[in-house]
Structure 1
């Protein structure tokens, strides 16, 4: 069973329905209550993927408070990618030929009352340990920008187009009815500082490790987000970054 302690925080895998409900409660607060999104009634964010996923919890050691959570959906290889959450929104047939183990990371969130960067480090440490133990060769998921107005993130999208588009062999195609095709529409030169500040921390983490994104963003009004498909081939992670991650994971 995955368990990791670093500094003020500990990461572990959910062991009970109560643990999963705690994660769903934090997700509701981050994705629905905090953003004004229109979601199911009640105080949890739950869907049909929860029962088939592994849930990771990051807790503050002193208080036991849940400060971060995410879920993992392991796949044996690309032929199973149609079972993923992301496949609802992106046409992923190009990735069906990926022949190694994959894992989808989803519903990643951090308690808005906490801004300690160590939380993200511990979360990625837990992910790194899972990847190493399971022999995962690709991570993927949806990276979300708050709100559904692309105008607020033009520099970020321009930088994604300029530096971080998926390789053609893996490029997701359009499936969702409402998308922003930033790779086709944007011709601007990005302000790099403004672009980085406008990106969600999870996406920034993917990119510094060599991750890539779809050429369009999905407008998800139910969750009040714009999201891009994000992929990361484990073998592409720079060696120095792998050492840092494994230092936390170890």
Structure 2
């Protein structure tokens, strides 16, 4: 899939650009970044055959959106993208390992899955996620897709109380209509957890919600990453006007 590159001067010494990985070397570098963030920083238990590389059965079917610091010669941010065609080829979306997506079956031909979002710790100032979001938006427009889905993770370092409280707070305003509801295969045991903590959404989830995304049901527990995963659905038609203008160039 074609995706035009975009460049931005982040600050002196950082010349960033976003685009789809075009070589196995770039994909491998993105997978190494994922390993450093997920395994070494966050403590995830990754089932990988190659030391220092986060790779699973979905990676060969995905396109890999990357942000590169050209001056430093390194990849500093990444998303992986699973198109509807690729999902048919492999037989499922990654999200289906965590959620029953039956109610989204009518959207599948127009539905792109995103995941494995991560940013190098030295670059978490907003510019990289802005470029990634812009790259995703252009990907959707250039390929005429209408829906983004994914799993947004919340740390369970405290046993899950923060995640349960966050879901309890967000469901009041951001829960999707019933026809788009999905169901966790391994539910977070909300009844056994506190749900009254003052839980602020992580930056990525906050960005999804500001853009117009829905939460599509209760969180699932991912024991390998030790996270509670919220199912996210963003119809392009619901995208907030400010985001649409910034990322997609819309005038309406």
TM-score range, shorter chain: 0.7 to 0.9
Q: 1:96 offset after TM fit, Å? A: 0.4
Q: Distance in 1 between matches of 2:240 and 2:179?
A: 21
Counterpart of 2:202 (choices 191, 200, 203) is 200
Structure-2 residue corresponding to 1:216: 218
Q: What does 1:84-233 align with in structure 2 at a 5 Å threshold? A: 84-98=93-107, 101-147=110-156, 149-176=159-186, 179-180=187-188, 182=190, 194-196=198-200, 199-233=201-235
Q: Distance in 2 between matches of 1:204 and 1:212?
A: 11
Q: 1:144 offset after TM fit, Å? A: 0.7
Counterpart of 1:17 (choices 17, 20, 24) is 24
Q: Distance in 2 between matches of 1:10 and 1:78?
A: 27
Q: 1:136 offset after TM fit, Å? A: 1.1
**TM-score normalised by the chain length of structure 2:** 0.86
User: Residue 23 and residue 77 in structure 1: after superposition, are their counterparts in 2 closer, same or farther (change >3 A)?
Assistant: closer
User: Residue 12 and residue 147 in structure 1: after superposition, are their counterparts in 2 closer, same or farther (change >3 A)?
Assistant: same
Contact 1:211-1:231 within 8 A present in 2 as well = yes
Q: Distance in 1 between matches of 2:105 and 2:30?
A: 30
Q: Secondary structure at the match of 2:121?
A: coil
Q: 1:77 offset after TM fit, Å? A: 11
Q: Distance in 2 between matches of 1:105 and 1:234?
A: 14
CA deviations over 1:51-80 (Å, ceiling 9, x no partner): 000001101232122110011011159989
User: Residue 78 and residue 68 in structure 1: after superposition, are their counterparts in 2 closer, same or farther (change >3 A)?
Assistant: closer
Structure-1 residue corresponding to 2:45: 38
In structure 1, list runs of 5 or more residues that go unmatched.
none
RMSD: 2.6
Q: Distance in 2 between matches of 1:118 and 1:71?
A: 18
Higher relative contact order (CA 8 A, sep 6+): 1
Structure-1 residue corresponding to 2:13: none
Q: Distance in 2 between matches of 1:226 and 1:130?
A: 28
**TM-score normalised by the chain length of structure 1:** 0.86
User: Residue 22 and residue 187 in structure 1: after superposition, are their counterparts in 2 closer, same or farther (change >3 A)?
Assistant: closer
Give the number of equivalent residue pairs. 240
CA deviations over 1:171-218 (Å, ceiling 9, x no partner): 002323xx2254x7889677xxx433xx23221111011111133211
